[in-house]
Amino acid sequence: MPITYHVVPHEDGWAYRLDDVFSETFPNHADALAAARIAAERHEQTDEDRFISYQAEDGKWHNEVAAGRDRPETEISDSAKTAGDDPAA
């Protein structure tokens, strides 16, 4: 199942969102879309195994090794394509 980056209007501009986390706000749709494409491409790139630490929703911290070869597929959902014209352009 691919991970989806959503390009959406956000704080008087545009951003991309992964789950419930937003990127920084971009002044226009094109910049947000370009940034989402870069993030999605990087998310798929294989790399070395890395030690990661993260806090789960229950507040507990977890430590694990993320396998650099175990990368997800990504896709981009663009709200401007479904909503019509780019209101921030």
**Spatial distance between the Cα atoms of 89 and 85, rounded to a whole number of angstroms:** 8
The model scores a pTM over 0.85? no
Is 89 contained in some domain? no
Domain hosting 22: range is: 3-83
Q: What number of CA atoms fall less than 13 Å from residue 17's CA on the CB side?
A: 14
The predicted pLDDT at position 50 comes to 87
In total, how many domains does the chain have? 1
The predicted pLDDT at position 46 comes to 87
Is 45 contained in some domain? yes
Is 66 contained in some domain? yes
Give the Cα-Cα-Cα angle 24, 50, 2 (nearest 5 degrees). Answer: 55
> Where does 1-89 have alpha helices with state H?
29-44, 79-83
Is 14 contained in some domain? yes
CA 17 centroid distance within chain? 5
Q: Are 7 and 36 a contacting pair, CB within 8 Å?
A: yes
Tens of pLDDT, residues 11-61: 999 999 999 999 999 999 999 999 999 999 999 988 889 899 999 999 999
